[in-house]
Amino acid sequence: MVQDRSLNITTVTARDIRWPTSLGAHGSDAMHTDPDYSCVYVTIATVEGPVGYGMTFTLGRGTDIVLLAVRAMKRLVEGRTTASIYERFGQFWRELTSESQLRWIGPEKGVTHLAVAAIVNALWDLWAKIRNVPVWQLLVEMEPAELVSTIDFRYIEDVITPKEAIAMLEQNKASRYDRMQHLMERGYPAYTTQIGWMGYSDETIRGLCRKYLAAGFKAFKMKVGQDLDSDIKRCRLVREEIGWENKFMVDANQTWDVPTAIEWVRKLKEFKLLWIEEPTSPDDILGHAKIADALREHGIGVATGEMCCNRVMFKQFMQANALEFCQIDSARIGGVNEILSVYLMAKKLNVKVCPHAGGVGLCEMVQHLQMWDYCSVSCTMEDRLVEFVDQQHDQFVYPATINENACYVAPRAPGYSTELKDEAIVQFEYPNGSEWKRMFGEGLFKPENY
Q: Could you say which of 223, 315, 347, 393 is catalytic?
A: 223
**What is the spatial distance between Cα 249 and Cα 275, in angstroms, rounded to a whole number?**
5
**What is the spatial distance between Cα 180 and Cα 175, in angstroms, rounded to a whole number?**
9
Q: Which of 326, 283, 284, 320 is nearest to 304 (CA)?
A: 326
Which sign does the torsion angle of CA 239, 24, 54, 420 carry?
positive
Whether 356 is a known active-site residue: answer yes
Q: What is the β-pairing status of strands 51-58 and 38-46?
A: antiparallel
Q: Could you say which of 129, 218, 288, 356 is catalytic?
A: 356
Bond prior to 107 in cis (omega within 30° of 0): yes
Whether 223 is a known active-site residue: answer yes
**Cα-Cα end-to-end distance for the chain:** 49
Residues tagged active-site: 223, 356
